[in-house]
Structure 1
Amino acid sequence: MISTTKLAISGLFVFLLALSTMSTAHEIRPAIIDLTLDENGSYSIDIQTSVETYLAGIGPDVTDTNNAPQAAEYDRYRAMSEQELMPVFNAFAPDLIRGIQLQADGLDINLAEPNLTLTSEPDLELAREAVITFTGTLPVGSSSLNWQWDEQFGGSALRVSSATGQEVYTEYLQPGVATGPFDITGAVKQSGFSIFANYLVIGFEHILPKGLDHILFVVGLFLLSSRIKPLLWQVSSFTLAHTVTLALGMLGIVTIPAAIVEPLIALSIVYVCVENLWSRNLSKWRPAVIFGFGLLHGLGFASVLTEIGLSPNHFITGLVGFNIGVELGQLTVIALCFLAVGVWFRNKAWYRSYITNPASIAIALMAGWWVFERTVYGV
């Protein structure tokens, strides 16, 4: 009876891990919205996104298109050339326009028909980015703007700037959330606290729920020992390292292509979990190894921030907010691991055999597949 109970607990934990390790090859990322304002009142809105998710009707509750009921339709659109996709997009454009609200001083701006540009050739193994462009002119004397788009289009990072590149406003928006009015005359500056809070959310969400590889790395650290001291040594080493490379990456001092960094991040997960199988305690070299892996993960974090963009006027504030958000996400993962198995079973004689080893094997196998996938097919 005891053996059956132990097997059930072990199987449940591995099953939960397996659910969280679905392939991220078709991960849905937030849209990047660049709103550029000219002195003469004209504007341009460039929305960088995966347009096929909208065409297939995949909502923000889905994090990976492979798991969506519309996965086949999504893949069919991704296989189309720009010329083939254009009629489908044109038919969808009125729905997109209805889902966007742009206001100047509280008055609605009627958007013209958008233009679509695909930035890469069809490849079912890779996410394909597109740019949706709106252009128009604001009413004379406009001093503030509001932006919102429908919840069905998911989260977004809004970046507002002048035609000369001067930052006006930046914010990460949850699905369906409006900005509220923001000044475009330069008279009112965006507060540092709002920047900090915004990037804290971005950092947390990059771990939970979107950072599956980072989640599994932290779980791998937990699995070696559910004791606080060994875990703190590992997490502290990891934190120090990724803080360093996150800053260096954002400053442009260290730049390594994602095609190199992402397979190595997956390989770091494999190493940690394989070591869990033959090491029962924290070895003297493990914190140093974890520090090295933290440098890699920091470069991964930097690529996310580079894509979204940090506010030049609040660079340090945004960087600190993002890093704290990442840390809160990692601590939440550790807390969930303790609640799931650590608190209840860590003192059991069978904990290693039925929790640590099966879970480490499952994670190592999934991460090994990621190494292959990211090396052969790219990020």
Structure 2
Amino acid sequence: MNHKWIRQLFASSMLAILTLIAMLGHGTSASAHSGNSVAYSDIQMEDGSIAYDLRIDMYDLRLATAPNDPDVGDFSQEILQKFVTEHKSDVESYLLDKIRLYADSLPLDGALLALEVTEARDQPYAEAKLRFDVSSKPEHFVLDYQPIYDDVDQWHINYVTMALKQDGSDKQSYALNFDNREVELGKISLFRAVKQFFVLGIEHLITGYDHILFVLSLLIGARSIKQILTVVTAFTAAHTVTLLLAGFGVINLPGKLVESVIALSIIYVALNSILNKNASKHNMFLAFGFGLIHGCGFAATLSEMRLDGGQLAASLLTFNVGIEFGQLIIVLLMYPVIHYARRIRWTMPAMSAAISVFGLIWLIQRAFL
């Protein structure tokens, strides 16, 4: 009998057994690659906020947020506790970037309140307690869940339980996977859409300092009520066209390009009113041309929202009407100031120069930084 052959067989068998034991011993770390990556989301409406408690496989989370951590394969309690302590800000940035909640089409601001070590499915898990501010119970709600799929495991599954009534009743359950990553509930009413987007349009114009300075530059270059009405009408017509086209997805210009050209438009119109004695004759064309770009800038605000498809047209139109109303407020407030300031000879050139400086600063920030 060949004893050498027996010894080789015995050695091979022992090696196979030891390899199997090692794999079983490290089953926790290997499980993330075996297609059974699972997370659990519990979403509950509270007073003034939406509570989102996420339990997610610790290995998945660590690999996604701290892939260069030398301890990523160590699952001792001490190392896990160290991770949730030292990488809480990384986890918050990652989750709030990958998990988006929309209430009545508007994105909600969130925060990570706590990150803890827990256990599920006999594996170490992380429990992230997220809170999203919301003023009232939404009629239309969207959960857009993107973590893990593209970073770690395309077979990841997220089991979602939602109760958007404050008493916790009427719970609904969903399973999200690679091909189905969002939940959409309800439908925003026409009245709520009109009211919400009208107010949003006013707020966007009044708080959009670049748009305000552009309108101010146009007013400085105008010499009469007729010219003011002409440039404001041209600007309104132009940005209405591109706002609607961008809102319906017909055009989609790079955000950096749009913001840079808006800054450039402020510089050009402001300097034109100083250097060109016939500026008022050309302001209508400048207002229309640059208004097309400003409309894309207005539409960029809507790109951050999840518009209810059934109310898309109403939302876009009332948002634009809100912008026009805000623009009217600006014109009515500024025109008397400009009218009386013209009596001081150096006032208009000084205002235009100051506006162009702001435009130059914005241009540098948006185009080069």
TM-score by length of 1: 0.53
Q: Between Structure 1 and Structure 2, whose CA radius of gyration is higher?
A: 2
Shift of 1:83: 3.1
**8 A Cα contact 2:258 2:297, kept in partner:** yes
Shift of 1:287: 1.3
- The aligned counterpart of 2:203 is 205
Structure with higher RCO (Cα < 8 A, 6+ apart): 1
- The aligned counterpart of 1:301 is 298
Shift of 1:282: 4.8
Match of 1:93 among 113, 120, 125: 113
Shift of 1:227: 2.5
Amino acid at match of 2:348: T
**8 A Cα contact 1:244 1:298, kept in partner:** yes
Shift of 1:251: 1.3
**8 A Cα contact 2:239 2:294, kept in partner:** yes
> CA 1:252–1:100 in structure 2 vs 1: closer, same or farther (change >3 Å)?
closer
CA distance in 1: counterparts of 2:308 and 2:254, whole angstroms:
22
Q: Deviations over 1:350-379 (max 9, x none)?
A: 3xx3221101001101101211111112xx
**8 A Cα contact 1:206 1:326, kept in partner:** yes
CA distance in 1: counterparts of 2:112 and 2:252, whole angstroms:
38
Question: Which residues in structure 2 correspond to 1:230-309 (within 5 Å)?
Answer: 230-309=227-306
Shift of 1:116: 12
Amino acid at match of 1:232: L
Q: What fraction of aligned residue pairs are identical, expressed as a percent?
A: 32
- The aligned counterpart of 1:324 is 321
**8 A Cα contact 1:167 1:312, kept in partner:** no
RMSD value over aligned CA atoms?
A: 4.0
Which secondary structure state, in structure 1, belongs to the residue aligned with residue 346 of structure 2? helix
> CA 1:292–1:98 in structure 2 vs 1: closer, same or farther (change >3 Å)?
closer
**Between Structure 1 and Structure 2, which shows a larger proportion of strand residues?**
2
> CA 1:100–1:307 in structure 2 vs 1: closer, same or farther (change >3 Å)?
closer
CA distance in 1: counterparts of 2:134 and 2:203, whole angstroms:
25
Question: Which residues in structure 2 correspond to 1:140-159 (within 5 Å)?
Answer: 140-141=169-170
Match of 1:83 among 73, 87, 91: 87
**8 A Cα contact 1:216 1:363, kept in partner:** yes
Which secondary structure state, in structure 2, belongs to the residue aligned with residue 255 of structure 1? coil
Which secondary structure state, in structure 1, belongs to the residue aligned with residue 250 of structure 2? coil
- The aligned counterpart of 1:372 is 364
CA distance in 2: counterparts of 1:196 and 1:102, whole angstroms:
17
CA distance in 1: counterparts of 2:212 and 2:349, whole angstroms:
18
CA distance in 1: counterparts of 2:241 and 2:132, whole angstroms:
40
Q: Deviations over 1:61-96 (max 9, x none)?
A: xxxxxxxxxxxxxxxxxxxxx9372589999616x8
Q: Which runs of 5+ in 1 are unaligned?
A: 1-40, 48-81, 105-114, 118-132, 144-161, 170-189
Q: Deviations over 1:290-313 (max 9, x none)?
A: 211001000111111111232211
- The aligned counterpart of 2:56 is none
1:168 aligns with 2:166: no
Which secondary structure state, in structure 2, belongs to the residue aligned with residue 206 of structure 1? helix
Shift of 1:220: 0.7
Q: Which runs of 5+ in 2 are unaligned?
A: 1-40, 45-49, 53-85, 96-110, 115-128, 138-144, 148-157, 173-179
1:355 aligns with 2:353: no
> CA 1:136–1:233 in structure 2 vs 1: closer, same or farther (change >3 Å)?
same
Which secondary structure state, in structure 2, belongs to the residue aligned with residue 213 of structure 1? helix
1:342 aligns with 2:360: no
Match of 1:222 among 198, 219, 223: 219
Number of matched pairs: 236
> CA 1:92–1:323 in structure 2 vs 1: closer, same or farther (change >3 Å)?
closer
Shift of 1:207: 1.2
**8 A Cα contact 1:239 1:327, kept in partner:** yes
> CA 1:310–1:46 in structure 2 vs 1: closer, same or farther (change >3 Å)?
farther
CA distance in 2: counterparts of 1:343 and 1:251, whole angstroms:
39
Shift of 1:285: 3.3
**8 A Cα contact 1:200 1:323, kept in partner:** yes
Q: Deviations over 1:248-300 (max 9, x none)?
A: 11111111110111100100000100101023455443312221100100011
Which secondary structure state, in structure 2, belongs to the residue aligned with residue 308 of structure 1? coil
